[in-house]
Amino acid sequence: MKLQKIIFLIIALFLVKIDFIQAQTSEAKTISVTEFEELAKNKGAVRILDVRTPEEMSEGYVPNAKNIDFKNDNFEKEISKLDKNRTYLLYCKTGIRAANAAAKMKAAGFMYIYSLDGGIDAWKEAGKPIEKWQ
């Protein structure tokens, strides 16, 4: 029984290591709503970035998200202020801008970038919480 637990733990750690190696490749990893939500639980190590316009974000956003508008000319300047070794979860409306923003961040040297497949539309469809500015 103890050996089974040790083997399970080794396999689990191996799979986590593979996931982080994939995140370090030249492409950002696109993840599901469930994976996004699980990674977001680690509030100390993970930062959620909403790359939509401020107007879009005012309609509702993923809790704890910070807005850095991908369409704004200062996107590169804003991301240059971020810690490149931290994990970032990106989303937009449907996933296209987040994938493009993730590619720019990877090119800028960020190590751990994940993009929400389907964007906030998928998040809402899954019944996940949305916050709005007061």
In terms of C-beta density within 10 A (0-12 exposed, 13-18 middle, 19 or more buried), how is residue 83 classed?
exposed
pLDDT digits (tens, 9 = 90+) for 86-116: 999 999 999 999 999 999 999 999 999 999 9
The answer to whether residue 15 is domain-embedded is: no
The answer to whether residue 30 is domain-embedded is: yes
Q: What is the CATH number of the domain that holds 67?
A: 3.40.250.10
The answer to whether residue 74 is domain-embedded is: yes
Write out the residue range of the structural domain in which residue 119 sits.
Answer: 26-125
pTM for the full predicted model: 0.78
* Average pLDDT estimate for 74-89: 96
Residue 133's pLDDT is what? 77
Q: Which of 129, 130, 104, 125 is nearest to 115 (CA)?
A: 104
User: What are the angstrom distances between the C-alpha of 92 and each of 14, 50, 74, 97, 119?
Assistant: 31, 6, 17, 6, 5
The number of folded domains in the chain is 1
The answer to whether residue 11 is domain-embedded is: no
